[in-house]
Amino acid sequence: MKKCVYAGTFDPLTSGHKSVIEKCLKIFDKVVVAVMVNPQKEPFLTVDERVELLKKLFSDNENVKICAFEGAAVDLLERENTPFYVRGVRDGIDLDYENRDRYANEKLKSDLITVYIPAEKSELHVSSSLVKNSVKFKKDFTEYIPVEILADFEEMLRKKGFNYV
């Protein structure tokens, strides 16, 4: 059985993230999707909210495991007993960043195999930052959030006091 880890902050989860996970399911038998806790970032949504959205989105797929993880990605790969680490890339800037990260990770885990999943042309501009800025500036973000969790995301925003669109 081939298993991979796809880790990120998912703050918030976008249609681009969903696309990467769906592609992983075509390559791997099991996909571990980890909401990483990054103390250097000030999150828009709580870890629990991000996990909740991911679990709802993939509730009907037993081959997707959702978890939260605080620590280094290589430690998560060790815990999950897999060398396959998936990264989504939109452009050359993402690829440069991910390659630098890969080289550092390979020093910590020599059997690491990084798999890059390129974004679809229609999703090259989609990012969590785009969604957050759209919310802050009261612009429509709905096409960037998977329809299955859009109402849940909007409810989370209302509870936080965001007045959007």
Residue 90: predicted pLDDT: 97
Residue 165: predicted pLDDT: 61
As a whole number of angstroms, the distance between CA 25 and CA 132 comes to 28
Q: Is 152 exposed, middle or buried (0-12, 13-18, 19+ CB in 10 A)?
A: middle
pTM for this prediction: 0.95
φ, ψ for residue 149 (rounded to 5)? -120, 5
Residue 86: predicted pLDDT: 98
Handedness of CA 48, 49, 50, 52 (dihedral sign): positive
Q: Write the CB contacts of 39 (distance below 8 Å, at least 6 apart in sequence).
A: none
Helix residue ranges per DSSP H, 10-160: 15-27, 47-57, 73-80, 92-108, 128-136, 147-159
Closest residue by Cα to residue 122 from 14, 46, 29, 39: 14
What DSSP string runs through 93-111? Answer: HHHHHHHHHHHHHHHH-TT
Write out the chain's pLDDT in tens, 165 residues.
Answer: 899 999 999 999 999 999 999 999 999 999 999 999 988 888 999 999 999 999 999 999 999 999 999 999 999 999 999 999 999 999 999 999 999 999 999 999 999 999 999 999 999 999 999 999 999 999 999 999 999 999 999 999 999 999 876
Residue 85: predicted pLDDT: 98
Residue 163: predicted pLDDT: 82
